[in-house]
Structure 1
Amino acid sequence: MAIKERKEREKQDMRNLIIESATQLFLKHGYDKTSIRNIADDIEYSPATIYLYFKDKDEIFYVIHENAFELLNKELRKNEAIENAFDRLGGIGRTYMKFALENPDYYDLMFIMRAPLSQIKSEQKWEAGECAFGYVTETIGACLEQKLIKPADKFLLAMSVWSFVHGLVSLYVRERMCVFPLSDDLLRDMLYSSLENYLSILKT
């Protein structure tokens, strides 16, 4: 049993090593310019070794993608203790922004970096991403039921809220807010103020 457990631990350690290397290479060079050989060279193993753990580069990206969304979902759900659904929605929005601002490289990898997601399409699932978006939709549904926001289609409203917040942080992450002659601190304050203003429009 000890031998089996050791082998399983070594296998998981190798998977983690591959994931860590691939993550850094994707962030540094982009998905298209990173190859299995690049990852193998970085961890000082042969490409054949990587294929023992992952079928291709897209599967590696999928695992990284899922891990990042699991982390985001975990952060979003810290707002569950907020009883008022509208206040909880605001907390979710601020948490989303905070995650993006504190993890700009990972946010870029999750939402902006161009990369095929055939693994998600072939398996017809995106568990972590669906869970995070589902939590936003669930909270908006609660807001509608409690008549805390103006009547609207729950899913359209969820998409609207997500798109608004994503648009704001994407502009910031990709340094497109340089058109505003403001310090970085003021830019960040403006992001949060924009969110509060948007949510106030939804409120009944």
Structure 2
Amino acid sequence: MGIADRKLREKTERRQAILEAALHLFTEQGFEKVSMRNIADAIEYSPATIYLYFKDKNELLLDLQTQGFGQLAQELKVLEAIEHPAEQLRAVGEQLLGFAFRHPELFELMFIMNGPMVAAQACAGANAWPGGGSAFAQVVSIVQRGIDTGVFRPQKADSAALMIWANVHGLAALHLRQRLVVMPEERREAAMHEALNLFHELIRRAL
């Protein structure tokens, strides 16, 4: 390995170490309480070193968000084996809701927090959201396949996908932001899955 390759590898490893330390601190203390200095202290770097890799905290959050979408994409690959579009849509909803339960900090970072979006828009404009765009496109693709094969009625696939997308993320956001206190604690998770199933039964008839 040449000097240039070794330096690139070391730089990549250092950047990943920063991201892993940041996510650990965010998980323990919350996003708002953790500063760039806290992250630097956790891995015994100077704050100046952190800023060599990330312009600010929002840019660091955007990188973590991108990794989160990569993880979600891997988890969604298992759904490719489902052939029926309606069943695939149902499975996507369950998988997204399960992702919110398993990785609440990542889900909040990916779908609720403003910080990463500020960084994304600063880099590439108001429509920039590579990770979210890819995930949404997957839902649109499933709906379009259902339309093309006659499973769903002809309509605008992106509008139908947005309705489905909003329902799943709304349920997850209510859960993450402690808004399900309107229900008994022992009923909350089951009720979310029941609500998702009811929604899919309704849209299956409507679409």
TM-score by length of 2: 0.87
| SS of equivalent residue, structure 2 residue 155 | coil
Structure 1 residues 182 and 62: alpha-carbon distance in aligned structure 2, compared to 1, 3 A threshold: closer
What residue is the counterpart of 2:164 in the other structure? 161
What residue is the counterpart of 2:174 in the other structure? 171
Shift of 1:148: 2.3
What residue is the counterpart of 1:61 in the other structure? 61
CA contact (8 A) 1:73 1:128 kept: no
CA contact (8 A) 2:61 2:109 kept: no
Kindly provide the amino acid, as one letter, of the partner of residue 187 in structure 1: R
What residue is the counterpart of 1:97 in the other structure? 97
RMSD: 2.0
Aligned counterparts of 1:58 and 1:174: Cα–Cα separation in 2: 21
Aligned runs of 1:63-142 on 2, under 5 Å? 63-115=63-115, 117-121=117-121, 122-124=123-125, 125-142=128-145
Aligned counterparts of 2:113 and 2:54: Cα–Cα separation in 1: 21
Aligned counterparts of 1:104 and 1:31: Cα–Cα separation in 2: 12
What residue is the counterpart of 1:189 in the other structure? 190
Aligned counterparts of 2:59 and 2:36: Cα–Cα separation in 1: 11
Shift of 1:39: 1.6
Tell me the alpha carbon deviations over residues 81-114 of structure 1, each in whole angstroms, 9 at most, x when there is no partner: 1111111111111111111111112212222234
Aligned counterparts of 2:42 and 2:185: Cα–Cα separation in 1: 40
CA contact (8 A) 2:65 2:116 kept: no
Aligned counterparts of 1:31 and 1:98: Cα–Cα separation in 2: 22
Shift of 1:2: 5.1
Kindly provide the amino acid, as one letter, of the partner of residue 16 in structure 2: N
Shift of 1:198: 0.8
What residue is the counterpart of 1:23 in the other structure? 23
Structure 1 residues 31 and 180: alpha-carbon distance in aligned structure 2, compared to 1, 3 A threshold: closer
CA contact (8 A) 2:68 2:110 kept: yes
Tell me the alpha carbon deviations over residues 1-40 of structure 1, each in whole angstroms, 9 at most, x when there is no partner: 3544443332222111111122233344444443322221
CA contact (8 A) 2:59 2:116 kept: no
Structure 1 residues 182 and 46: alpha-carbon distance in aligned structure 2, compared to 1, 3 A threshold: closer
Q: How many pairs does the alignment contain?
A: 202
Aligned counterparts of 2:58 and 2:204: Cα–Cα separation in 1: 42
Aligned counterparts of 1:14 and 1:85: Cα–Cα separation in 2: 42
What residue is the counterpart of 1:201 in the other structure? 202
Aligned counterparts of 1:173 and 1:33: Cα–Cα separation in 2: 18
Shift of 1:149: 3.2
Aligned counterparts of 1:117 and 1:29: Cα–Cα separation in 2: 21
Tell me the alpha carbon deviations over residues 101-150 of structure 1, each in whole angstroms, 9 at most, x when there is no partner: 11112212222234252331122433222111100010011122233234
Tell me the alpha carbon deviations over residues 45-97 of structure 1, each in whole angstroms, 9 at most, x when there is no partner: 11111122222222211100100111112212321111111111111111111
Shift of 1:153: 2.2
Aligned counterparts of 1:11 and 1:57: Cα–Cα separation in 2: 19
